Chains A and B, each alone.
Chain A
C-alpha cells in the first residue's frame, strides 16, 4: 500500500490561559491516504478543529503545538520554517471553514479573492490565475460565473459562498482539503448539495478530504473512514460501514443513536448523553469519558485505556467495548432519563471556578 500523504504522530496542542493549560489536542495520531475521504467526528470542544488548525500551523494565541509530528509527504510541518509553511498552506493542504459569510473578506470582490489564492504561490502567473477563476467557479457549480466574479460576498447566497470558498481552497490543486464543518451554517437543503459537491470533487480531482463535522448523517453519505474524537484524543476509528454497524466505544454508540436513522425501524428511544463535555483544564482520571459513560466498570475511573485493535481496521479506546454489552443492558441504557443533572453539573462547575 502506498504511503499516506499525511501522517500525524502523537500531536499535542495546548492553550496557555489564565485559567490553566488547556489540553486541546492530547496525543492524536492519524493518517490520510491519497484521495481518501476521512471524517473526524465529535462534539464541540473535543479538539477536532484545533487538530485541523495544527495541521496547517494556524493555531491561534495563546495556543501552541507542544509535541508530536505532522508529516506531509515525509516533511515535518511542525519543524518547517515560516517560508516553507507559507508555501505549504493553501497549496499542498487547504482548509475551508464553517461560516462562509465571515470567512470571506466583505470588501473585496469574490473573483479577486479566488485569484489571490493562486497568486500567493508560484504555481501560476497572474495572467494564468485570472483565467482560472471562472472555470473554478464553474466547477463548483456557481451559476453565471463570469458575472459573479465581480460580486462581493454579501451578494452571494450562503450555499454559493461556501462553494466559492471550496473553489478558493482547490485553486492550487492541493493534495488534501480540510473542511471544518462546511455545512453547519447552511440551510438543510443546501447542506446536501455542498456535501455532494465535495464528493464529486474528490472523485474528479483525486483530492483527499478530511471532513470535520458533528453530523453523522453527512459522514455516512460521503466518507470512507471515520475518526471519533473526545476530550482531545481519538476514542475510535475505522471504516465507516463497520463503525456504523458495530461501534465499540460507548461514546460512538451513543453518538450514532442520538439522531434518528432512516435505515432503522422506529423502535427504541433516542439516546442522549448525560452531563457536559469535560473541562480540558481539569480532566478526570482514567478514561476521559467515564463520568458520562453508561457502561463503565471500576477500572474505567482508574486507568486510561490505549487505542487497541478491536476488529480488522477498527480501533477503540475502551475497557468495556460495546460488543461485550448485552442487548438488555443496551435497552436499559436507552430507556434512561434525559440529563437531569445538567443544571447540577453547571452549578458544580461555577462553584469550582469561583474557588479557583
Chain B
C-alpha cells in the first residue's frame, strides 16, 4: 500500500516537469535582457518590413526604385531623404526598409527548406539505419566538408540569379546541421527501452518514435533554425555583393553594398547604411539564438 502510494507520488511530478520546460524556458529567456531586446528589434523590423508597402502609401517611405536624377548622392539628413540618396537618386532609407523584406524573407524561407530537407534526411537515416543511414551520412559528410558558399555560388550560377533560386540554393546547402541533429535524436530515442517494450507489446515503433521525437527535439531544432537565419541572410548578402545574386534594382542590402562600393570613399553612407542594417540584424538573431539555447538547456534547470 505504502509502495503504491509512493509510486503514484513519484509519477505525479514527472509530467509537471515536462510541461514546466516551456514555461521555465520562457521565464529564463525573459531574464536575458540582451535576447529580449534583440527579439524586440527583430519583431519591429519584421513588422516594418511587412508593412512597408502600406508605409509607402502613407508617404513615410518612398518607392525604393524611384529614380531622381536631380538629387543624386544627397547626404544624410537631407529634407526628404533622411539617409540620403544613391547614385540614381533613390532614397536610401526606403531601400533599407524594403531591403529588410528581402533579407528577412530569405532568412525564414531558407529555414523552411532546411527543415524539410534536413528533417526528412535525418528521420530517414535515423529510423531505417543500416545502409540507408550509411549512404545518407556519407552524402552528408561530403556536403559538410565542402565550403558552403562555393556550392551556393555554383548552384546560383547554374540556375540563374532569381529570388527563388537563391533561397533554394542556400537551403540546399544548409540543411546538414539540422539533418545530423534530427538523426541523432531519432537514434537516441530508438535505443531507449520503452520503444522495445512497446514494440513487444504490439504497437508500431514508428508511432512511438514520432510521439517522443517532437517534444524531445523541438528545443534544439528551434535553436539551430534560429542560428540559421543570420547565416542565410549573410550568404544572400554576399551573393549580391559579389555580383552573383540579386541584381539592381532589387532593394536588397547586399545589392546596396554592391552598388555603392565604387563610390564608397566619397559617399560612405551608401555602403555603411546597409552594412549597419546587416550587422544589427545578424547580431540580433545571434543573441536571440544564444538566449534560446541557454533557456532551453536542461542542464541549467534548478
Quick check: do A and B touch in the complex, using CB within 8 A? yes
Q: Is A342 an interface residue (CB 8 A)?
A: yes
The CA-CA distance from A353 to B302 in the complex, in Å, is: 10
Residue B191 lies at the interface, judged by CB distance under 8 Å to chain A: no
Chain B: which residue is nearest A347 at the CB level? B13
| Chain B contacts for A340, CB-based, 8 A | 2, 5-6
Closest to B10 in A: A343
Q: Is A259 an interface residue (CB 8 A)?
A: no
Minimal Cβ-Cβ distance residue in A for B13: A347
The A interface, classified by DSSP as helix, strand, loop or mixed, is: helix
Task: Name A343's closest neighbour in chain B (CB-CB).
Answer: B9
Whether the Cβ atoms of B13 and A342 lie closer than 8 Å is: no
A346 to B10, CA, bound (A): 10
How many chain A residues sit at the interface, stated as a range, is 10 to 19
Residues B266-302 near A (CB distance < 8 A): 302
CA distance A340 to B302 in the complex (A): 25
How far is B6's CA from A343's CA once the two chains are assembled, in angstroms?
Answer: 7
Interchain CA distance A20-B13 in the complex, whole Å: 26
In the assembled complex, the CB of B18 is this many whole angstroms from the nearest CB of chain A, namely: 16
Identity of the chain B residue whose Cβ is nearest the Cβ of A340 in the assembled complex: B2
The interface centre, meaning the residue of A340, A346, A350 with most chain B CB atoms within 10 A of its CB, is A340
Nearest CB in chain B to that of A337: its residue? B2
What distance in Å separates the Cβ of B15 from its nearest Cβ neighbour in chain A? 14
**Cβ contacts A82-102/B at 8 Å (1 or 0 each):** 000000000000000000000
The complex places the Cα of A347 from the Cα of B5 at a distance, in Å, of 14
Q: Which residues of B contact A347 (CB under 8 A)?
A: 9, 13
Determine if A283 is an interface residue (Cβ-Cβ < 8 Å): no
Interface size range on B against A:
under 10
Query: What string of 1s and 0s marks CB contacts (under 8 Å) between B36-68 and chain A?
Result: 000000000000000000000000000000000
Report Cα–Cα, A340/B4, bound state, in Å: 10
A340 to B10, CA, bound (A): 11
Q: Does A338 contact B (CB under 8 A)?
A: yes
Contacts of A343 in B (CB 8 A): 6, 9-10
**B6 surroundings in chain A (CB, below 8 A):** 340, 342-343
Contact with B along A142-165 (1 / 0, CB 8 A): 000000000000000000000000
Q: Which of B217-236 contact A (CB under 8 A)?
A: none
Q: Which residue from chain A places its CB closest to the CB of B8 in the assembled complex?
A: A343
Q: How far is the CB of A26 from chain B (nearest CB, A)?
A: 24
Q: How far is the CA of A337 from the CA of B6 in the complex (A)?
A: 13
Query: In the complex, what's the smallest C-beta–C-beta distance from A353 to chain B, in angstroms?
Result: 7
A166 to chain B, nearest CB (A): 33
Chain A 328-356 interface residues, beta-carbon cutoff 8 Å to B: 337-338, 340, 342-344, 346-347, 350, 353
Chain B residues positioned under 8 Å from A353 (CB to CB): 302
Alpha-carbon gap, A189 to B35, bound state (A): 54
Bound Cα distance A343, B13 (Å): 10
Q: How far is the CB of A344 from chain B (nearest CB, A)?
A: 8
Write the nearest CB–CB distance from B269 to chain A, whole angstroms.
47
Residue of B nearest to A350 (CB): B13
Q: Which residues of B contact A346 (CB under 8 A)?
A: 13
Minimum C-beta distance from A210 to chain B (A): 33
Contact in complex: B2, A338 (CB < 8 Å): yes
Residue from B5, B9, B13 having most chain A Cβ neighbours under 10 A: B9
Q: For A342, what are the chain B residues with a Cβ–Cβ distance below 8 Å?
A: 6
Considering the complex, give the chain B residue whose CB is closest to the CB of A344.
B9
Residues on A with C-beta less than 8 A from B9 are 343-344, 347
Pick the most buried of A337, A338, A343, A347: most chain B CB atoms within 10 A of its CB.
A343
Known: A340-B5, A343-B6, A347-B9. 12 other contacts (CB 8 A): A337-B2, A338-B2, A340-B2, A340-B6, A342-B6, A343-B9, A343-B10, A344-B9, A346-B13, A347-B13, A350-B13, A353-B302
Sample (14) of A-B pairs whose CB atoms are under 8 Å apart:
A337-B2, A338-B2, A340-B2, A340-B5, A340-B6, A343-B6, A343-B9, A343-B10, A344-B9, A346-B13, A347-B9, A347-B13, A350-B13, A353-B302
